[in-house]
Amino acid sequence: MTTQAPFKWSHFEAEIIVLCVRWYLRYALSYRDLEEIMQERGLHVDHTTIYRWVQSYAPELERRCRPHLKACNDSWKVDETYIKIKKVWLYLYRAVDSEGNTVEFLLSPTRDAEAAQRFFVKVLGSSARTAPYAGLTEAKQAQTPLLSDGHTSRRDLRVINVDKNAAYPKAIANLKASGILSSSVELRQVKYLNNLIEQDHRFIKRLVKPGMGFFSFETAWRTLQGYEAMNMIRKGQVQGVRKGHSTHQAAFVAELFGIAV
């Protein structure tokens, strides 16, 4: 798949592919549900084909959506939720601001200080919007200080709210000691302050449930990227696209992939 021609050599029309991908990532549907819905419309699309579409275009949706997101504010709420992969529970780290806007997310096989630190570095890199930094692998991100454009984001960040997980203070202390995070950033460990992000987890969990878990880390991560992208669009985080306006949201996704509406 190329940026200029993401649907080249596709048997189905681009509109059908984007429709199936968008519906799967937005609503609590299984691949077989979508197969039946398409059959009702006279289109015979196998559920495995829709699965391949989601795997290909969900990460691309998230990548194309990023430049259009509104800036988040200076108060973040961080928490992790559970995602089952091959009958094993893994951890989806997520951060939202005080208005409920998604800041960043990261799937991790572990729930410890190292994983928390890796997530915070990813969050800070995302908020800084530095192109060279965004291109690094997660392993490199955990070892690399933010670039010059990141100083403003680090200075502007005011408070991080977390639960009582002991890994968070250790991760924050390491980031402050290394200069990646400003020493003025306040860490609050008050559980009720994180109610907002715990409520936000529900949208992702509701989408994961119809699939009854994932079969590999890679397929889970690709799908979750799409879930999170559609969640951000749904919440009105995209510039010029109103919250709750499904028609505008559908048109925005189509426009991202160069489809005329």
172-196 confidence digits (pLDDT tens): 999 999 999 999 999 999 877 788 9
Q: What is the pTM of this model?
A: 0.85
**Directed axis angle between helix 47-65 and helix 246-256, to 10°?**
90
**171 within domain boundaries:** yes
Whether residue 62 has pLDDT greater than 70: yes
Q: Looking at the domain assignment, is residue 218 inside a domain?
A: no
Same domain for 52 and 88, yes or no, is no
DSSP-H helix ranges across the chain: 14-26, 31-40, 47-65, 113-128, 131-134, 138-143, 150-156, 167-177, 195-208, 217-234, 246-256
Q: State whether 22 and 130 are in the same domain.
A: no
From 154, 177, 200, give the residue that closes a domain. 200
Q: Give the structural domain span for 131.
A: 75-200
Same-domain status, 45 and 91: no
**Distance between CA atoms of residues 140 and 186, nearest Å:** 26
Q: In this predicted structure, what is the pLDDT of residue 209?
A: 84
Tens digit of pLDDT for each residue in 149-164?
333 333 479 999 999 9
How many structural domains is the chain composed of?
2
> Are 185 and 245 members of one domain?
no
- Are 126 and 39 within one domain? no
Decide if 5 is inside a domain: no
Are 56 and 112 members of one domain? no
The pLDDT value given to residue 125: 86
Q: How do residues 12-60 score in pLDDT, each as one tens digit?
A: 899 999 999 999 999 999 999 999 999 999 999 999 999 999 999 999 9
Q: Are residues 48 and 85 in the same domain?
A: no
Decide which of 185, 200, 215 is a domain's last residue.
Answer: 200
Which whole number is the average pLDDT over 238-252? 92
93 in any annotated domain: yes
Residues 51, 108, single domain; the answer is: no
Q: Average model confidence (pLDDT) for the chain?
A: 86
Angle at 170 between CA 165 and CA 175, to 5 degrees: 125
Confidence at residue 134, expressed as pLDDT on a 0 to 100 scale: 35
Residue 229 within any structural domain of the chain: no
Question: For residue 127, is it within any domain?
Answer: yes
Asked if residue 118 belongs to a domain, the reply is yes
The confidence score (pLDDT) of residue 147 equals: 33
- Is 130 a domain residue? yes
Contacts of 39 (CB under 8 A, 6+ apart): none
* CA–CA distance, 171 with 187 (Å, rounded to integer): 11
Query: In terms of domains, do 53 and 85 share one?
Result: no
Percent of the chain with pLDDT over 90: 72
pLDDT in tens, 208-225: 988 777 999 999 999 999
Are 184 and 139 in a shared domain?
yes
